[in-house]
Structure 1
Amino acid sequence: MVVLFFVVLVLFSLVKTKIVHYSSLCYSPLTYLAALQLERIWVRNEAFGWSRFALGILGNIIALVVIAVPFIGMDIEKLRELLAGDPFAQANLGAEVDWTGLEAIAGLVLLGSLTAAHFLHGAKRYRSSLVVIFGGSALFITTTLFFFIRNIEAYSQRAAITFFEERQGERCYVTTKGYKSYAPWFYARTSQTMPPEEVLFRGPVDRPVYLSCKITSVDEVIALGTFSEIGRNNGFVFFKRDP
């Protein structure tokens, strides 16, 4: 299992073609090796060993990042300066997101869990330490989703999602260019069979065609010569083609 894990990890770190179904082969040996470690701690009541330090280092880094993110979000202009070379990311940061600082609770939950587990391990209460880690991790994931998912979505795709939702009930085609997304299908709720891309972009159509692209792909859409811009928001630009 160790050999399988490292062969897959190294191989798919080197090759340019990234196929998720193949690289996910890491999950099987990784899960097996983790189960062996858990069995050693729980059944034999042995110390964590090297995994204690790996867990502590990685866990604390994650916790500190999660604690810092809300406060970075409150002063987004400093982050915007760091992304000067990425116009799409800069435009994303223009989204209206309300950070309160309470989001840091998620990171504090993880930090507190790791600290408690550390002291329990030091007292040789290995099983209790394991329970605290698992319970704290579950609570951390839940609180992170609760506090962060909506804010992150606002930066990453809310403008496009809102655009697609506005097309609900309208007899039209909705598509994207320059990036792939399920969002047009799910949020616009179009049930018609979509014509090929070439037809949508240049061929004859029987209804309006709405298109969403990133700000970095605007020139490509304009070059088609068939679409007119109808709006832009947070890094996304929206076009319409009349039949």
Structure 2
Amino acid sequence: MNIIRLNFKPILFFLFYVCILLLPTLGCFNLFDWDEINFAESSREMLVSSNFSQVMINFEPFHEKPPLFFWFQVLSMKIFGIGSFAARFPNALLCIILPVVIYDIGRRLKNATFGWIWSIIFISGFLPNLYFRTGIIDPIFNLFIFLSIYFFYKYFNSLKLNNILFSGLFSGLAILTKGPVGLLIVLITVLFYFVLLRKNISLKHILSFIIIVVLVSSPWYLLELINKGPWFIVEFIQYQLELFSKPVAGHSQPLYYHFLVVLIGCFPFSFLGLKNSFRNSGFGLDFEKMMRILLWVVLILFTIVTTKIAHYSSMAYLPLSFLASIELYKIYNGKKFNSFLKYSLIIVGSFIGLILMSALFIIINHKDLILTIVKDSNIQYLLENQMQWLGWEWLIPALIVIGTLFSCFFLNSRLIPSLALYSIAIGLNFSLLCKFVVPNIENVIQGSAVSFYEDISFEKKYLTTVGFKSYAHYFYSKIDLLDSNDSLYNAKKKILKTNFNSLSLNELSSEDKTRFNNYVLSWYINGNIDRPVYFATKKNKINSQLEAAKNLIVIKDFGGFKFYKRELK
């Protein structure tokens, strides 16, 4: 079966887009704590340990994510070396693949014009464009879910076995990327579509779908079960349930959170697709119903989930952009651009651009004003970090204003060129921000810590954070794999045996792991070490145990962080 019929025009356009507007600034700033560094560190540890079947953090099993995305990052790091560029490159590559895929699907559903509209408007959204520049899992996860749903839709229309098999393949890949939530989204969406439209379905074909999902996703899970026993599956399932039932890591937000994130973060297509999100557009495609169901499944599901993080609802971007494309296609074919919608886009787009310009102007020219207004001690400490400004960077978001005005006024007469220019304006806006603004912001947030970790990265040392959670020290200090020749390795074994009667950290409960970490911290301070030990803390969370220790010296105190060292004697 020919899944995608190659058309070189969209391939060349999006290749040009990525090469000019993404790749040059992909590595201009360090990875951000937590998610970006977390995932990149797991990939780095795969390379260091040559253990590509196990996801690890600090060379200990990391049960929260399956390995597929890390394999892509590992391949990228093999090619480009370990760093922020390599960690983000898989998603940048996806900025070619995903738009070309939805162009081809749009062409098959309607025609090439609709394919162009859909693919261009998708990358014009703020958050979709931004996520292609990150090292997070969600873009590729969303692609697999979307393709699984698309092939299920094709199956309903044709009842051909190959479509259900492809759907199962991509569901299996989604499970290997981020876990069973991928299959959950597919099944809920398909179930609602099946019930509402009363589609025919073959039980044999459903069984084939299940078999393919299991064949694709289960080998890795079975390997983990064999190697580590049932604790891994238990921990993995428990973590997934915790995401649903309580705010993990403090990510608690109001019920309307994801609706607001999608509305503002997917501008302009969130406004263009808003009407079609609630009612049938009369476009004549059942796929519209499937996309409407998918949109609401994602928004409602992640509203119910207690842990609320912005990219959790990113699966909503594809169906919402499809619904927006219907409206734009109608305008292309002669429908008058609704004046209320037109001026709403102009007002909101201009407002967003002007707000960003104003915020940057204050940050660049009036840092003292921020220090006067903001009383939070941590922010004041962070602003000790120097920011290198040229002075004009606050003008960059003007591209949003200009792009919005231009595209809105020329949408009726030259729709596709207007959309293309708007997408380029948004891409250029993010590219310039990544080059001139984000490095300064990143330096303020974590710069002093990252530079310290990099300074000691070639030392043979032990390093820990105290009082705050981070993954940056693992990645940027190049924490190494310990063995029985290292004192810390043996100390951890002894702590587990003596205090918990256990041979593995994996067997401990969350409460016991906290106690275990406290024992390890005490060993770092007073134990028989064979390497120097470094401690990183935040200045607004000073640890009394470190302050009281006579054998520790403060070696750096700047930019919101305080660093201690215990010398090897």
The TM-score by the shorter chain falls in which range?
Answer: 0.7 to 0.9
SS of 1:190's partner is: coil
| Matched residue, 1:77 | 368
Q: What is the CA–CA distance in structure 1 between the aligned matches of 2:452 and 2:458, rounded to whole Å?
A: 13
Structure number having the greater strand percentage: 1
Residue equivalent to 2:531:
207
Provide, for residues 174-217 of structure 1, a one-character-per-residue CA deviation record: whole Å limited to 9, x for no partner. Answer: 12123222221222122133755345411223222211111121
Encode CA deviations 1:59-95: one digit per residue, 9 max, x unaligned: 32331133223321221011112211x1011111121
Matched-pair contact (CA < 8 Å) for 1:2–1:29? no
Identity rate, percent: 26
Q: Which has the higher helix share?
A: 2
Q: Give the corresponding residue for 1:229.
A: 554
| Higher Cα Rg, which structure | 2
Amino acid at match of 2:369: K
3-state SS of 1:238 partner: strand
Please tell me whether the aligned partners of residues 299 and 316 of structure 2 are also in contact (alpha carbons under 8 angstroms): no
**Which residue of 1 is the match for residue 429 of structure 2?**
140
Following the alignment from structure 2 to structure 1, what is the Cα–Cα distance between the partners of residues 447 and 346? 35
Determine if contact 2:466/2:543 at 8 Å carries over to the other structure. Answer: no
The answer to whether the Cα contact below 8 Å between 2:295 and 2:319 also exists between their aligned partners in 1 is no
Equivalent residue, structure 2, for 1:219: 543
1:138-168: CA deviation from partner (whole Å, max 9, x where unpaired): 1111111111121111211111111111112
Taking structure 1 as the reference length, the TM-score comes to 0.82
Distance 1:228 1:14, change over 3 A: farther
Conserved? CA contact 1:95–1:154, under 8 Å: yes
CA contact 2:374–2:380 (8 Å) conserved in 1: yes
Greater shift in the superposed pair: 204-213 or 160-169: 204-213
Q: 1:224 to 1:54 in 2, by over 3 A?
A: farther
Q: Which amino acid in structure 2 is aligned with residue 38 of structure 1?
A: S
How many residues align structurally? 238
1:104-152 deviation digits (Å, cap 9, x = unpaired): 232122221111112213x543333322221211111111111112111
2:328 to 29, 32, 41: 41
Q: Is the 8 A contact 1:42 1:127 kept in 2?
A: no
Query: What CA distance in whole angstroms lies between the structure 2 residues aligned with 1:173 and 1:223?
Result: 19
Q: Structure 1, unaligned stretches of length 5 or more?
A: none
CA contact (8 A) 1:201 1:224 kept: no
Does 59-68 or 111-120 show the bigger shift?
A: 59-68
Return the alpha-carbon distance in structure 2 between the equivalents of residues 199 and 206 of structure 1. 17
Cα distance in 1 for partners of 2:563, 2:303 equals 36
Distance 1:211 1:61 in 2: 44
- The corresponding residue for 2:161 is none
Q: More deviation in 5-14 or 157-166?
A: 5-14
Kindly indicate whether residue 481 of structure 2 is the aligned counterpart of residue 192 of structure 1.
yes
Report 1:99-138 matches (<5 A). Answer: 99-121=389-411, 123-138=412-427
Report the Cα distance in structure 1 between the residues aligned to 2:343 and 2:319, rounded to whole angstroms.
Answer: 20
Letter in 2 for 1:72: I
CA, structure 1 residues 159+29, in 2 after alignment: closer, same or farther (shift >3 Å)? closer
Matched to 1:81, the amino acid is: T
Q: 2:444 aligns with which of 155, 166, 170?
A: 155
- Pairwise CA RMSD of aligned residues? 2.9
Cα distance change, pair 40–185 in 1 and its aligned pair in 2 (3 A): same
> In the superposition, relative to structure 1, how do residues 29 and 149 fare at CA in structure 2: closer, same or farther (>3 Å)?
closer
TM-score by length of 2: 0.38
* CA distance in 1: counterparts of 2:520 and 2:336, whole angstroms: 62
